Structure 1
Amino acid sequence: MKRRHLLSLIFYANLAIVLSILSYRVYLYATAPEASALLVHQIDRIEAADRNAPDGISFAVVGEANNSIGVFEKQIIPRINASDAAFVVSAGNLVSGGGEDKYRALLGTLSRLDRPYLLTFANNEYDEFGSGRFYQRFGPHFYSVTLSNLRLIFLDGTGRTPTDWQERWLADLLEDDSTRPVIVFLGHALIEPEPETIFGTDRGAWSAPEDRDRLLGLLRALEVDMVISAGAATYSDQTVDGLRHILTGGAGGFVLNDETSFYHYLTLTVSPQGEISVALERIDTAPTRLARRIEGLWFFIYSLFYVGIWNFLLIFSGFVIIGVLLFNRLFREREYYPNTRMGGPVDLGRPMRIAMFTNSYLPFLGGVPVSVSRLKAGLESQGHEVLIICPSYGRESPEPGVFRLPALFRSGTLVRIANPFRIAMWRAVREFDPDVIHLHHPFWLGSLGLRIAQRLDVPTVFTYHTRLEKYAHVVPLPGALFRNVVAHGIISRFANRCDQVIVPTPVARDYIRLIGVTSPVTVQPTGVEVERYRDVDRAKVDRLRETLNPDGRLLLISVSRLSKEKNIDFLIDAITDLKRRGAPPFRLLLLGEGEERGHLEDTIGRRGLGNEVTLVGAAPAEDVPAYLALADIFVFASVSETQGMVVLEAMAAGLPVVAVQSSPIEAFVENHETGLVTPEDVCVWTDALHALMVNRSDRHAMGAAARDAAQQYSVESFSADVHRIYEAALRGRMPTEAAAGEPRDLTV
């Protein structure tokens, strides 16, 4: 158990890291500055420095800085700031990648530079969709700068800009200008460096032999003096066919710190006569070759962590999450044949105290509130004590055994998100001192109840009431993602943290097992107060008939919340079809309230069903038996239920059921015996309903069989069975030897 908790902690900690980093990435993209090209201001500063330098000008050139902190930021920049260099030129790969975090780190590094700068657009600047960031922050991918005795030309060697366009521009630019020396900066080398590098040089737009030869021929024809490039962690200075090629790659990144790969930058000095001299500025670090290599590796790793720490954490945490998931999948023991034997009784020597946590309760009318209310009444009739923690709806009277929490959020007139932070509630639960905590939802107050149970060290029982995947339309996530992954994950994770799980039908049990629940699962339908539906106030029924069905039509009835997942539109489609067919005069009563009421009213009016469909609204619970006694057939189209208690209530009232095929319906309605069950097909379903409407004898026979079938689901049997499940949860907390031996007295 401790190992599982540790793995859960590791999993969720790394999941939080991943989500935080992704959120940070989204923030970076959303808050990227809208600044215009920064190189414009830099060129203005360089031209001003050139005008003030009649005796010539010098500048520094760096290559392969790669967001280096240890070398470029902490060693090269201070030396340049202390030198006579008027400005700095990057020959390419000033960043380690084109991501937003890399460019933001670069701006921080450049802010330490006292001199203006010019940048070459190279492969690293282009990677990770960096071309747009470079253009936004700095300027175009190819450009030129003209000084009094020098012309600097920057080409885009990434392939982002077509080569033929750049070559035409270059020819037009230099065709009539031979008065100044020309230096071309290119992010990748046009000739291989000497000596040969271990890792090879960057490839680019002019790396193919025919493209390289064409550009070299153009540069020689235009009398270019020098090409300076980056693209490898080395230094090379060669003159080929009268054109000088310098590769400089020592401003950061991973260098070998030997005679061919070492930290450095260049100082170029241009005399008034246009003569260019190049000085190699070597950065001496550790005293020995081994120490320098270790230091170079450290500088490289340090830069990765400083600049790419978020990427590192993202990748590392991603691997940890995958590792935990694989470990759980491959090595966690699973019980594929669970032991469902309840075992012997647990004698507390007194009535049991049960605390229940539910996100909905009366006066909200729905399956869960009714189930909880009936269970509470049944347990209390047996002498047990029950405390319900639930939301307040603002108008209910105080009720013994019910602690209501004020709402943090309200939706409509009934839905409430309760405040779980009330100190009084925690105190009330501690003073109640429950033996068992019963949870009716796998989130919010259900999660709160689970935490309290862990704090008090008492067992928990979870009832699976709701098919969460059917509520994808109300969750702000892609529907398929919620239905196929999130909903099942919420239920399985929560259920596996509980001592016992209750489901209403065998199919629900199979689903719970299928999604990976290993806790003990018991099939236990919610009970029905069968006597309430047998002994109905006939005078009340007569008054309802005079109001709702004065012309004595065949009466259909459905009890449901008016919400999308209840499939009310299916019923309206069927009623439309029945009217078109000329079915016997009928009327459908819809009992319930909900957010779909306006939509349903519009549909009923548009289809001319005002005389056939009546939206009764929310009826008081004590009046529901009278409404059912008034009707002839109960109709039901929802496929989102786990049980569908209203179906059992209708059966207890002696009504045949016509319903859409789903697991809870098939568990209680025997087709052609207590009702009719069809696929979710309007034509097929309407055929079945129409046939029952015209056959009085079948209606009466199915109604009588339904009433008899419902008798086995009494509240008394229900609460007694749930009490035995509570005992099983208590037994699970006993030492193994005690649970296997004689019944144990747990009197406190």
Structure 2
Amino acid sequence: KRGRLRQRMANALREVDPAVAMIPGWATPASLVALEWCLRNQRPAVVMSETNAFDEERYALAELIKRRVVSLFSAGLAGGQLQREYLITLGLPRDRVFTGYDVVDNEYFATNAAHVRANQAAFRRELNLPERYFLASARFVEKKNLLTLLRAYASYRELAGRLEGLSPWDLILLGDGPLRETLNSQLSTLNLRRHVLLPGFIQYRKLPAYYALADAFVHASVPEQWGLVVNEAMATGLPVIVSNRCGCVPDLVAEGKNGFTFDPASVKNLGRLMVDVSRLSDRRLEEMGGESRRIVAGFTPAHFATGAQRAIDVAKATPICRATLFSWLLLKALVRR
């Protein structure tokens, strides 16, 4: 299989004959085979990465191997601050690493959300959505920390029930995956079936409506390299509550201005934050949503293009690395693993 991959990748790159290759990461056989081709044909390679130093447990030997592999690239395009610093830690010079990798089509989400809000009664009926709700969107897998989210939501409802005049919001959790049955079971255990909706996987064209009619967005992942759903929520003008283990936090979440961060291991911390957000006035929620739009305006496809072009220009101006025998053997071993 690896031999066929190497041959097909070589054929594809030979046909395209790139002046510079933009390669996503360094962990997959496809990425490593593309890097091999660039080195063999003396073409500069730009690594695109959303990995940061804290998204997984790190081991000295693995980091040493990564440093050797990353040193073979001419430049880097990272998601944001944390991701850029990690590439620099792995040996890429600071003046050869740029940001802009993790973006979404802000205009698509903003335009469609505005249309939905202008016709919200009809959309709310069509989608059977409650009047007030927190929104979350994730694959139903362990790293998304959805069981903690449900426990925190149960804690939120308990706390809100003690406060006079506060009517708890519902929770809508978009997505699907292997933990669906586990989550359904947890809803029964926590007596949340009337308050938590699981619409399943939602097609891209329908996503803006769920964002537009929500009051706030919650992302509880641990770990998370970035979290593009946070970009989507902010583009539609939502306040965000985001795990402090998400790689997007330093770039996208201004504490108390457009959202809040929390320890994803703390059910109580998240539950209290949900209470605090649901107690905010509509005017304050709108102000925070406006700040979300302002912040995420710096993370667009145009921002990606600018960062990519800067990385390409630097890569073309940088002498191409000549791999040592050890580097060749290391790449071959990593491709075969």
Q: Fold-level match, TM-score > 0.5?
A: yes
Give yes or no for the alignment of 1:506 onto 2:81. yes
Corresponding residue for 2:134? Answer: 556
**1:449: Cα distance to partner?**
1.1
Match for residue 92 of structure 2 among 518, 539, 549: 518
Corresponding residue for 2:23? Answer: 439
Q: How far, CA to CA, are the matches of 1:606 and 1:730 in structure 2?
A: 58
Match for residue 454 of structure 1 among 19, 39, 61: 39
Asked whether the equivalents of residues 578 and 690 of structure 1 are also in contact (C-alpha less than 8 Å), the reply is yes
Change (3 A) 1:726 1:533: same
Q: How far, CA to CA, are the matches of 2:75 and 2:136 in structure 1?
A: 33
Give yes or no for the alignment of 1:625 onto 2:211. no
Matched residue type, 2:306: A
Corresponding residue for 2:333? Answer: none
Give yes or no for the alignment of 1:692 onto 2:277. yes
Change (3 A) 1:432 1:550: closer
Match for residue 672 of structure 1 among 256, 260, 285: 256
Corresponding residue for 1:151? Answer: none
Q: How far, CA to CA, are the matches of 1:419 and 1:558 in structure 2?
A: 42
Give yes or no for the alignment of 1:644 onto 2:220. no
**1:689: Cα distance to partner?**
1.7
Change (3 A) 1:510 1:598: same
**1:547: Cα distance to partner?**
4.9
Change (3 A) 1:599 1:702: same
Give yes or no for the alignment of 1:703 onto 2:289. yes
Corresponding residue for 1:488? Answer: 63
Asked whether the equivalents of residues 19 and 43 of structure 2 are also in contact (C-alpha less than 8 Å), the reply is yes
Give the greater-gyration-radius structure (CA). 1
**Structure 1 alignment gaps of length 5 or more:** 1-407, 409-417, 472-481, 736-748
Matched residue type, 2:267: V
Encode CA deviations 1:342-397: one digit per residue, 9 max, x unaligned: xxxxxxxxxxxxxxxxxxxxxxxxxxxxxxxxxxxxxxxxxxxxxxxxxxxxxxxx
Q: Report the 3-state secondary structure (helix = DSSP H, G, I; strand = E; otherwise coil) of the residue aligned with 2:59.
A: helix
Q: Report the 3-state secondary structure (helix = DSSP H, G, I; strand = E; otherwise coil) of the residue aligned with 2:5.
A: coil
Asked whether the equivalents of residues 459 and 499 of structure 1 are also in contact (C-alpha less than 8 Å), the reply is yes
Encode CA deviations 1:39-90: one digit per residue, 9 max, x unaligned: xxxxxxxxxxxxxxxxxxxxxxxxxxxxxxxxxxxxxxxxxxxxxxxxxxxx
Matched residue type, 1:560: A
**1:690: Cα distance to partner?**
0.8
Change (3 A) 1:687 1:511: same
Corresponding residue for 2:327? Answer: none
Give yes or no for the alignment of 1:720 onto 2:306. yes
Corresponding residue for 1:568? Answer: 146
Structure 2 counterparts to residues 273-292 of structure 1, below 5 A = none
Q: How far, CA to CA, are the matches of 1:664 and 1:466 in structure 2?
A: 11
Corresponding residue for 1:115? Answer: none
What value does the CA root-mean-square deviation take over the aligned residues?
A: 2.8
**1:454: Cα distance to partner?**
1.6
Q: How far, CA to CA, are the matches of 2:257 and 2:303 in structure 1?
A: 24
Q: Report the 3-state secondary structure (helix = DSSP H, G, I; strand = E; otherwise coil) of the residue aligned with 2:85.
A: helix
Structure with greater strand share of residues: 1
Give yes or no for the alignment of 1:532 onto 2:117. no
Matched residue type, 1:521: V
Matched residue type, 1:732: T
Q: How far, CA to CA, are the matches of 1:507 and 1:606 in structure 2?
A: 38
**1:466: Cα distance to partner?**
3.7
Q: How far, CA to CA, are the matches of 1:733 and 1:633 in structure 2?
A: 48
Matched residue type, 1:546: R
Give yes or no for the alignment of 1:584 onto 2:167. yes
Asked whether the equivalents of residues 530 and 714 of structure 1 are also in contact (C-alpha less than 8 Å), the reply is yes
Corresponding residue for 2:243? Answer: 660
Change (3 A) 1:590 1:451: same
**1:525: Cα distance to partner?**
4.6
Q: How far, CA to CA, are the matches of 1:453 and 1:575 in structure 2?
A: 50
**1:591: Cα distance to partner?**
1.9
Corresponding residue for 2:72? Answer: 497
**1:468: Cα distance to partner?**
8.9
- Structure with higher RCO (Cα < 8 A, 6+ apart): 2
Q: How far, CA to CA, are the matches of 1:734 and 1:429 in structure 2?
A: 17
Q: How far, CA to CA, are the matches of 2:52 and 2:184 in structure 1?
A: 27
Encode CA deviations 1:192-226: one digit per residue, 9 max, x unaligned: xxxxxxxxxxxxxxxxxxxxxxxxxxxxxxxxxxx
Change (3 A) 1:448 1:541: farther
Q: How far, CA to CA, are the matches of 2:254 and 2:3 in structure 1?
A: 43
**1:469: Cα distance to partner?**
7.3
Encode CA deviations 1:505-534: one digit per residue, 9 max, x unaligned: 2223333344x4234322335233221122
Q: How far, CA to CA, are the matches of 1:540 and 1:487 in structure 2?
A: 53
Q: How far, CA to CA, are the matches of 1:674 and 1:468 in structure 2?
A: 25
Change (3 A) 1:706 1:485: same
**1:489: Cα distance to partner?**
4.3
Matched residue type, 1:569: L
Q: How far, CA to CA, are the matches of 2:120 and 2:41 in structure 1?
A: 49
Asked whether the equivalents of residues 168 and 278 of structure 2 are also in contact (C-alpha less than 8 Å), the reply is no
- The TM-score normalised by the length of structure 1 is 0.38
Q: Report the 3-state secondary structure (helix = DSSP H, G, I; strand = E; otherwise coil) of the residue aligned with 1:666.
A: helix
Corresponding residue for 2:11? Answer: 427
Asked whether the equivalents of residues 47 and 73 of structure 2 are also in contact (C-alpha less than 8 Å), the reply is yes
Corresponding residue for 2:329? Answer: none
Change (3 A) 1:441 1:685: same
Matched residue type, 1:731: A
Change (3 A) 1:486 1:544: farther
Give yes or no for the alignment of 1:635 onto 2:218. yes
Change (3 A) 1:542 1:427: farther
Q: Report the 3-state secondary structure (helix = DSSP H, G, I; strand = E; otherwise coil) of the residue aligned with 2:261.
A: strand
Q: How far, CA to CA, are the matches of 1:421 and 1:710 in structure 2?
A: 38
Corresponding residue for 2:316? Answer: 730
Q: How many residues align?
A: 307
Corresponding residue for 2:331? Answer: none
- The TM-score normalised by the length of structure 2 is 0.81
Corresponding residue for 1:188? Answer: none
Matched residue type, 2:284: D
Q: How far, CA to CA, are the matches of 1:422 and 1:450 in structure 2?
A: 11
Q: How far, CA to CA, are the matches of 1:613 and 1:490 in structure 2?
A: 45
Give yes or no for the alignment of 1:596 onto 2:179. yes
Q: How far, CA to CA, are the matches of 1:422 and 1:508 in structure 2?
A: 28
Q: How far, CA to CA, are the matches of 2:307 and 2:85 in structure 1?
A: 20
Q: How far, CA to CA, are the matches of 1:486 and 1:595 in structure 2?
A: 32
